[in-house]
Structure 1
Amino acid sequence: MTDFKRIGLVGRPDHSGVVDSLLRLLAFLGNQDVDIVLDDVTARLIENPGVNECTREELSSRCDLVIVVGGDGSILNVAKFIASDQVPVIGINRGKLGFLTDVLPNEIETNIANVLNGDYSVDKRFLLDVVARRGTTEHNLGSALNDVVLHPGKAAQMIEFELFIDDKFVYSQESDGLIVSTPTGSTAYSLSAGGPIMHPHLNAVVLVPMYPHSLNSRPIVIDGDSEIKLIVAAKESLEPQLSCDGEVLYTAVAGDEFLVTKKTVPLQLIHPPNHSFYQACRSKLGWGSRLPRADD
């Protein structure tokens, strides 16, 4: 007997392969003892889907499980809507790397059947919450599963800011910005900027400078429960921007502060049986396979 009776489907628009996978999912789930819900954007991808629809904001109240068809970016987009209500998510990979969406399109029926039969593992991936402070006014900007990034925005110039961790001054820096990354995000933008790969079970955050005007500024790994504060320099003439998982959420002015903390409720990411983070790294990042042995 499955734990999941109400299953939501979310698909990435503008990708022909996504529609093919959604149709396979609808055909398979239609023969199971489950209710199916499509988010309203996904419903427009399919002609006469014949199932219930809801907005993405309503998914967590209508579903026990969400299946995302797309790439890692599609998971990032859905995570902020369902994490707080502890609705688990599993991904069908129709993107590029697919660290989060690890079910292959030709294995949909097998892997989803395993999940419905209770044969799966659950990763709890924490998110970051961001608050902007301007004077005495605070704004809750949102959450990020991968990373929070302070960057110059449209201007191709360096910005200046200060970094505090748990109210302790760390440094001031002139650079293209700073990436505040979770372990989940350590294989994404942070990796491209020279940050370390962190195992997803670590309770840690990595701070990765972007092109710092210094020869000794390196990534710092800190405790995941730390409070991170970024203060835009008082004389900053540019208007830096703050992004969560690639989405610009705020344009700053001189003196603005950003507080970044770990979200109290993690995202529940479901994997098929025998999932291995290290195997994913080997296949996605081109790590070497095992060497031949004498007894092979």
Structure 2
Amino acid sequence: MPAMKSAFQKVALVGKYMNPEMREQILALAGFLLKQNIKVVIEESTAAQSDILGHEIVHIDAIGACADLAIVLGGDGTMLTAARALLDHDIPLVGVNRGRFGFLTDLSSESMLEGMAKILAGEYNIEQRMLLSASIQCDNEIVSHGYALNDVVVNKMGMSRLIELEVNIDEQFVHRQRSDGLIISTPTGTTAYSLSAGGPILHPALDAIAIVPICPHTLSNRPIAINASSKIDIVLVHTEDAAVHFDGQLHKALKQGDRVLVQRAEKTVSLLHPLGHSHYDMLREKLHWG
């Protein structure tokens, strides 16, 4: 295949954490890009786990400063990690699915090179995905902050009893609930944990946030969707052992009286899709709709 002129001059490759089995695919993709006169950098942990030498190696936090496209080989978890690491840089991501569902990874491993050839030729669309910004307040002081592309989850830990939460939206009291926890989800995250907990599927272009209770004690406590400009204040009224997670990763343990403040982040994540990508086609395929 002859070299083509591409808008991307330097591409970073990020592989699934602790998965050395994808070495051949990473090397195949790197070789393909080099033949197109595109410079290649390999994320540090990916190179170490796959025993890859002979390429420029960079830490994941440095990718945004040296590359203009990141290709993520793995599942949605790998994509989420890469997206958060590159938040401060306007660099699009494209995913090659090496996980299970792969709602965020468009290219299959079998058609990876064919798909990348089309993308390098300019046959793609860029979509902006919203993020959540969350702050943890202890004793009226902000002690931690983070971002989530999928969801912010406040939940009980281990075998502890139900936790009691107070939920306020835009300084208006909504309710108190006893449950296993609460999921605050972006539209992107509504096909993740939120879906398993009975939440709605929101189209990623929708300007909304889903609030989904986890196993509520009162069965009438149902998921709701609110405007993405809303500010959500969650108060730990009673808990023996609780925590807050960002995109499935433990962020901080919580105690009674702590607050989790969630709102839409100013930053967004750029996902690159091949031309012809359809969110509905993806849902039909991944969820086995008829």
Q: Is the 8 A contact 1:229 1:259 kept in 2?
A: yes
Matched, 1:59 2:63: yes
Contact 2:70 2:91 in 1 (8 A): yes
For 2:263 and 2:128, locate their aligned partners in 1 and report how far apart those are by CA, in whole Å. 17
Distance 1:48 1:135, change over 3 A: closer
Which runs of at least 4 in structure 1 moved beyond 6 Å after TM superposition? none
- Please say if residues 141 and 250 of structure 1, whose CA atoms lie closer than 8 Å, have aligned partners that are also in contact: no
Q: How many residues align?
A: 286
Corresponding position: 1:192 with 2:185: no
Select between 136-145 and 202-211 the one with higher mean Cα deviation. 136-145
CA contact (8 A) 2:160 2:240 kept: no
Partners in 2 of 1:220 and 1:48 — Cα distance? 47
> Does 2:258 match 1:253?
no
Q: TM-score, normalised by structure 1?
A: 0.93
Secondary structure at the residue paired with 2:37? Answer: coil
Cα separation, 1, equivalents of 2:188 and 2:208? 10
Q: Secondary structure at the match of 1:76?
A: helix
Question: What's the CA shift for 1:153?
Answer: 1.5
Shift of 1:15: 3.3
Match of 2:173 in 1: 169
Q: Distance in 2 between matches of 1:260 and 1:155?
A: 26
Partner Cα separation in structure 1 for residue 177 and residue 64 of structure 2: 40
Give the letter for the 1:189 counterpart. Answer: Y
Other structure's SS at 1:262 match? strand
Tell me the equivalent position of 1:280: 282
Indicate which of 205, 208, 211 corresponds to 1:204: 208
Gaps of 5+ in 2: none
Q: Distance in 2 between matches of 1:46 and 1:217?
A: 47
Distance 2:117 2:251 in 1: 38
2: distance between equivalents of 1:111 and 1:146? 25
Show the counterpart of 1:229: 233
Q: CA deviation at 1:45?
A: 3.1
1:16: Cα distance to partner?
A: 5.2
Amino acid at match of 2:213: P
Residue in structure 1 matched with residue 118 of structure 2 by the alignment: 114
Distance 1:18 1:228 in 2: 40
- Structure 1 regions of 5+ residues with no counterpart? 289-296
Correspondence list, 1:33-44, <5 A: 33-44=37-48
Q: CA shift at 1:164, angstroms?
A: 0.6
**1:132 maps to amino acid:** I
TM-score of the aligned structures, taking structure 2 as reference length: 0.95
- SS of equivalent to 2:212: strand
Task: Please provide the CA RMSD for this pair.
Answer: 1.3
Determine the C-alpha separation between the residues in 2 that align with 1:211 and 1:203: 26
Identity of aligned residues (%): 38
Match of 2:97 among 74, 93, 96: 93
